[in-house]
Amino acid sequence: MNITKLKWKLEQHAAWLKDNTTGERAILCDANLRNADLSNTNLHGADLSNADLYSADLHGADLSYTNLCDANLHGADLSDADLCGADLSNADLRNADLSNANLRNTNLRGVNLYGADLRNADLRGAIFMSGWILDKA
């Protein structure tokens, strides 16, 4: 995805977040966002399913209630990100930095966390597989 189109989509999403009657929710399914700098971006409720976010900078981003099913987040920086209620099912989070991330009530079914940094991440209520919910961090 080129930078101009991405910037426009993010502006439309920001308008949608302020008032659901203007702008539009960001639908970035299958988008190529490799190495993108999305640090501190508000993507609350966006659809990033199957997006390629390999090594993307999402430090401090608001990804709460975002659809990240099947997303490639290998090596992504998600430190200090808010992923509360997000759907990360089957996402690739190998070697991702999730330190200090809010992963409360997040769907982590089928996620590959090999080598991921989860130091100080809040995993309360996170779902790892059917019937297995982490109640206490």
Q: Which residues pair with 67 in a beta bridge?
A: 47, 87
Determine the Cα–Cα distance for residues 56 and 116; give it in Å rounded to an integer.
14
Residue 135: pLDDT band with limits 50, 70, 90: low
* Element holding 130 (H helix, E strand): none
Q: Where is pLDDT greater, at 18 or 1?
A: 18
Class of the domain covering 1-129: mainly beta
pTM for this one?
0.91
16-64 residue pLDDT tens: 999 878 899 999 999 999 999 999 999 999 999 999 999 999 999 999 9
Give the model's pLDDT for residue 130: 56
- The end-to-end CA distance of the chain, in Å, is 37
pLDDT of residue 81: 98
Q: Of 18, 46, 22, 20, give the one whose Cα is nearest residue 33.
A: 46
CB 32 within 8 A of CB 52: yes
Q: What is the pLDDT of residue 3?
A: 85
